[in-house]
Amino acid sequence: MSPKPLDVHGSFDFTTDMNVLITGSSGQIGTNLALAMMARGDRVIGVDCRRNSWTDKIETVQADLVTCGVDRLPKPDGLNLVVHFAANAKVFDLVTDPQRAMDNISSLFTVLNYCRIHRLPIIFASSREVYGDIHRHITHETSADFVVAESPYSASKIAGEALIYSFAQCYELPFLVFRFSNVYGRYDCDIERMERVIPLFIDRIARDQPIVVFGREKVLDFTYVDDAVAGVLLGADALVSGRVMRETINLACGQGNSLVDVVNIIALALGKKPQVRYEPSRVGEVTRYVADITKARTLLSYEPRTPLSEGLVKAVEWTKSFRKL
């Protein structure tokens, strides 16, 4: 398939009717986003290499983006946005198996080619990992310095951003890059697949099992999933209508909390006394990050509503409603 000829400013049909393809639609943020978009009347089609284990409401094409090629992706008829969330998203897994970082780059390349051929704007899920472990007090978008790549996962997001910027440059592709940070909440407790710290702590503390905190000193920016999704929705509307594009934006809570805070709030919400052992941070892990979210506020009127103390209580309640603890 060859791309339509370049016609820089006339080739994108900016509109507000949303018809979106979401990759990684069986994952945590993808499931939340797809359901939120469908609830407000948008048409959503998902792509993921796994079936969705949370809901059967999202129409999903099952395909591995590393190998499938653009022709296996859904027909672009009527689509006006692609949200690319598919990735191997667990930092330490990619330290042990760096091929999974390369797969992230290949997946994005497939999706970018699809967007280039069909002239579709793209939202890309990047990460605070692109900043490395730099210990700045507050992290602003311009402070990314790519020689500080902390892990193969960081490198895959840095490479991903570079590919996006190059496609924007050479093919005038409209994009928004969102740098997420520790998103937690609904649809994240599939611990067998993906051992994330917050669902893991909720599960173990609830069962009176010991937990290990890697990095007592870590201060991170934990984002409740509804805030992350609200930010993406604002971005999607702004991008599809042509109001905001070619921007890289931190999407987080904008507050730093330690893992000790996380443990204590979860234990309080569960009415348990946690058994905690502390170990040093593991290779490749970021130990300090607090996002500057001024840009999201300014460009998108984004306003996070859920501080950690409230978000963790909601996460505990949701986990209890979802499965017996």
Ligand X SMILES: NC(=O)c1ccc[n+]([C@@H]2O[C@H](COP(=O)([O-])OP(=O)(O)OC[C@H]3O[C@@H](n4cnc5c(N)ncnc54)[C@H](O)[C@@H]3O)[C@@H](O)[C@H]2O)c1
**14 sits in which H/E element:** none
The least CB distance from residue 59 to ligand X, in Å, is: 15
- Helix (H, G, I), strand (E, B), or coil: what is residue 235? helix
Enter the DSSP assignment of 291. B
| 24 vs 121, beta carbon nearer ligand X | 24
Closest CA to 314 of 253, 228, 225, 254: 225
Which residue's Cβ lies closest to ligand X? 27
**122 sits in which H/E element:** strand 122-127
Cα dihedral angle (42, 33, 120, 43), rounded to 10 degrees? -20
The least CB distance from residue 80 to ligand X, in Å, is: 21
Q: Which residues bind ligand X (CB under 6 A)?
A: 24, 26-30, 48-50, 64-66, 85-89, 103, 107, 125, 127, 180-183, 194
The least CB distance from residue 274 to ligand X, in Å, is: 22
Residue position matching structure tokens 């949200």: 83
The least CB distance from residue 46 to ligand X, in Å, is: 9
- Antiparallel, parallel or unpaired: β 122-127 and 81-84: parallel
| 12 vs 21, beta carbon nearer ligand X | 21
Spatial separation of the C-alpha atoms in residues 306 and 303, rounded to whole Å:
9
- Helix (H, G, I), strand (E, B), or coil: what is residue 27? coil
The least CB distance from residue 290 to ligand X, in Å, is: 15
| 60 vs 80, beta carbon nearer ligand X | 60
**Residue 114 in tokens:** 């699809």
Burial of 164-193, coded b for 16+ CB within 10 Å and e otherwise, reads beebbeebbbbbbbbbbbbbbbbbbbbeee
Question: Phi/psi at 2 (nearest 5 deg)?
Answer: -105, 150
The least CB distance from residue 49 to ligand X, in Å, is: 4
| 16 vs 143, beta carbon nearer ligand X | 143
| 22 vs 168, beta carbon nearer ligand X | 22
| 16 vs 53, beta carbon nearer ligand X | 53
